[in-house]
Amino acid sequence: MKLKLKSLSIKDFAGIKNESFNFDGKDAKIYGDNATGKTTTAIALNWLLFDKGLEGQKIDIVPKDENNDHIHELVPTVEAVFDMDDNALTLKRESHPNYEKVEGSTKKHYKNSRSTKQYIDEVPFPITKYKAEINKIIDEEVFKLVTNPDAFPQLHWQDKRKMLFEIAGDVSDEDVINSNSELKDLLEVINRREIEDEKKVVNEQLKKAREDLEHIPVKINTLNEQLSDDELDEPLIDKTINQINEEIELLKDKRTQIEHGGAVIEIKREIDEIQYKMDNLKREVETGAQDKVNGLQRELESLESDVSIYESRQNRTFEDIKDLTARKDSKLKEYKELATERDNVQADQFEVNEDESICSHCGQPLPEHDAEKSVEHAQAEFNKRKSNKLESINAEMERVVEAGKSLGSAIKHNESEVEEFKKKIADKEKEISLLSVRLDKAKTSIVKVELNSEYKTLQKEKTALESKLGDEKQTTESKVADLTQQITVKQGELDKVQEQKASVKHQQQLKQSIDDYRKEEESILDTIEDLKYRKHLIDQFTKTKVNLITEKVNSMFDLARFKLFHTQVNGDIKETCEIMVDGVTYDGGLNNAMRINAGLDIIGVLSKHFEVEAPCFVDNSEAVTQLKEIPSQQIQLIVSEPDKKLRLEVNQ
């Protein structure tokens, strides 16, 4: 889309009172001294399109008087005629003050706010629809980039870089590898992960490998310090261990033989035989009398159990009698209440109600014949109800009487059971008394075995043998203690030799660990060399890609050059985006003329990319002797001290 500015009219806009410029779609120059409104022309066009200043900010467009107060009644107006792809387009915008009526006054009060009116080809549009139509014509950000030489350089470096890559297109990893045969080994890598991810993996692995390598010498030195200078004879140590173990086993066998010696066993056997005879004699002497006592004791316990059972049943029967008596009293009370109710019903007599002679439908007195029939009917109903009630009460009284009789019979039955229990208990207690006398007599007839002469003799023999057994045990314990001491001494000797054996094993393990660490050290060194080579390939890849991208981007521009990568002190490459001209950075010393021409060079490329050509206002262009030519319409704003009013000069 080609957009050329044919004319621009500005009235009461900021510092411009009334100016009209006829560009006729051609390049032009606007001359003027400082503060005459040159830059305001570009601002006015931007406000017309987007309601903003050149930097995208809200702007104050209302003119001010000599006291710097707004002249709010003025209506800032901007009108522009464009040639858009050989079609005329007229845009107009006005800023009107908002007023409100003051109560009690004919004057209007300024509300300190404004409203805009906007027109497209003289057709009024609401603000929202106007903005939508302008956006259809050209995007605000694109317009800013293709009309203001300072717009692109003022972007954040990441946004500049992103836009350049969008225009030039990125360089694929395959293209980078194919451009350098040394990088062919990376083809397998890019099929698995991104190069940047591979770089992170390699750096992490390299860092870990170096850390591991750094620790190995320390570990080897620590193990070497633990190695002993003494050389121990392992076969001799094993022979000594076997010899001491044999000596310990011989001592243990000898101790076992003494612990299980014949003298002690024989004495114990004799004691057991005497004890057997004493037990048999005790059973012969005590068994007959004791069996009789035991039998009488069991019989006595059975009788006492019977008494306990009878007493328990008797108590339960007492409780039943108490409950039945309460229920019988309740029935008697119920019978008396029914009798009273029966007497009341029998005493009740029929009485004529005056309502019986009144018609229930019309409320008029009934004829005498009908009234008599009504009374007779009422009396018959009364007698029927009374008879039914008496019949019901009499039936209920009969039921209560029968229940009372049944309860009385149950009470008498339980009372007879109580008497029977009392008799049985008395009989059992008499039996218990007689049996107790027999039991006491039987107990006095038992003979104590300790008084038996034969039993006394056996007891003396047993005591003598137990004394002899104690003496023999004491002798045996002394011999066992001596052998145990010898075993302990030998065990101490064995422990020392086994410590030497363990030391030999420990020394062997230390040497094996040192050997393992040396092998691990060699393996890590091989790994580090491999990782260094992989890192070298990645660095070469990055440098190659940097050069290819930089060449591709810079090839689009005539004057401007871009530094897209920065090599750090440690050799790493960091992304950046700096504009340069002849080796001088845009923000680091480039003069104003070269900054303007670099900006125009960038606008030329951006216009081609966005397929948009729009009027480009070049401020402060008096510093440029030779302005960079671009396809877009250029309007130079030139400081000219003699020109106290704006002057237009259109290139022919």
Q: Which of 28-32, 73-77, 429-433 has the lowest mean pLDDT?
A: 429-433
Mean pLDDT of the 130-154 span:
94
Measured at the alpha carbon of residue 172, what is the angle toward residues 167 and 174, in degrees to the nearest 5? 160
Render pLDDT for 153-199 as a digit per residue (tens, 0 to 9). Answer: 999 999 999 999 899 887 888 888 888 888 888 878 878 888 788 88
Q: Which of 263-272, 310-319, 507-516 has the lowest mean pLDDT?
A: 263-272
Q: Which residue from 169, 153, 145, 142 is spatially nearest to 579, judged by alpha carbons? A: 153
- Range 360-384 average pLDDT: 78
Give the pLDDT of residue 447.
Answer: 65
Listed ranges 4-13, 61-70, 322-331, 462-471; the one with the highest mean pLDDT: 4-13
Q: What pLDDT is stored for residue 454 in this prediction? A: 85
* Residue with more model confidence, 503 or 156: 156
Range from 369-373, 487-491, 524-528, 591-595 carrying the lowest mean pLDDT: 369-373
d(CA 9, CA 22): 9
Q: In degrees rounded to 5, what are phi and psi of residue 609?
A: -65, -45
Rg (CA), the chain: 66
The C-alpha atoms of residue 618 and residue 604 are separated, in whole angstroms, by 14
State the amino acid at position 141 in one-letter form.
E
Every domain of the chain and the residues it spans: 3-153+592-650, 157-251+483-585, 292-451
- Asked whether residue 366 carries a pLDDT value surpassing 80, the answer given is no
Pick from 58, 63, 75: which is nearest to 117 by CA? 75
Please give the structure tokens belonging to residue 484.
């145990």
pLDDT of residue 591: 92
CA distance 479 to 466: 20
Nearest by Cα to 632 from 8, 13, 25: 25
Q: Is the pLDDT of residue 633 over 90?
A: yes
For residue 76, give Cα distances in angstroms to 48, 61, 247, 320, 506: 11, 7, 123, 119, 99
Contact 573, 542 (CB under 8 A): yes
Q: Give Cα 492 distance to the centre of its chain.
A: 60
Which residues pair with residue 82 across a beta bridge? 5, 89
Neighbour-count burial for 239-270, b at 16+ CB within 10 Å, e otherwise: ebbeebeeebeebeeebeebeeeeebeebeee
**183 or 133, higher pLDDT:** 133
With a cut of 90, say whether residue 20 has pLDDT above it. Answer: yes
In sequence order, what are the beta bridge partners of 47? none
Q: CA 493, CA 489: separation in Å to the nearest integer?
A: 6
Confidence category of residue 355, pLDDT binned at 50, 70, 90: low
| Residue 356: per-residue pLDDT | 58
Percent of the chain's residues with pLDDT above 90: 51
Its pTM stands at 0.54
Long-range (24+ apart) CB contacts under 8 A made by 201-206 are 202/531, 202/534, 202/535, 202/538, 203/535, 205/527, 205/531, 206/528, 206/531, 206/532, 206/535
Interval 230-274: pLDDT, tens: 777 888 889 999 999 999 999 888 888 877 766 777 888 888 998
Instruction: Name the pLDDT band for 228 (thresholds 50, 70, 90).
Output: confident
Task: Give the confidence band of 342 by pLDDT, cuts at 50, 70, 90.
Answer: very high
Is the model's pLDDT at 573 over the cut of 90?
A: no
In the predicted model, what is the mean pLDDT of residues 218-222?
A: 90
Is the pLDDT reported for residue 351 higher than 60? yes
Average pLDDT over residues 310-321: 90
Cβ contacts of residue 149 below 8 Å, gap of 6+? 595, 596, 598, 599, 600, 602, 603, 616, 618
pLDDT at 4 over 90: yes
Q: Distances in Å between the alpha carbon of 11 and those of 22, 53, 91, 350, 352?
A: 15, 17, 14, 121, 119
Report pLDDT for 526: 94
504: its two tokens:
């030999």
Residue 610 scores a pLDDT above 60: yes
Is 70 exceeded by the pLDDT of residue 361? Answer: no
Q: At what angle do helices 140-147 and 592-610 cross, to 10 degrees?
A: 140
Torsion sign, CA atoms 439, 445, 447, 448: positive
Token pair 């007891």: residue: 459
Q: Phi/psi at 91 (nearest 5 deg)?
A: -120, 140
Q: What is the pLDDT of residue 174?
A: 86
Mean pLDDT taken over the chain: 89
Q: pLDDT band for 116, please (50, 70, 90 cuts).
A: very high
| pLDDT at residue 360 is higher than 60 | no
- Superfamily of domain 3-153+592-650, CATH level 4: P-loop containing nucleotide triphosphate hydrolases (3.40.50.300)
**Residue 619: predicted pLDDT:** 92
Tokens of 376: 């007779």
What band does 288 get if pLDDT is binned at 50, 70 and 90?
low
Other CB atoms within 10 Å distance of the CB of residue 576: 14
User: 23-56: per-residue pLDDT in tens?
Assistant: 999 999 999 999 999 999 999 999 999 999 988 8
Q: Do 119 and 92 form a contact (C-beta atoms < 8 A)?
A: yes
Give the closest residue to 504 by CA, choosing from 240, 244, 227.
Answer: 227
Contact 356, 378 (CB under 8 A): yes
Mean pLDDT within 543-562: 90
How much is the pLDDT for 300? 85
Q: Which of 141, 93, 89 is nearest to 119 (CA)?
A: 93
SS3 label, residue 616:
strand
For residue 365, the 8-state DSSP code is: B
Residues with Cβ within 8 Å of 138's Cβ and at least 6 positions away in sequence, in order, are 1, 3, 49, 612, 614
352 vs 128: which has the higher pLDDT: 128
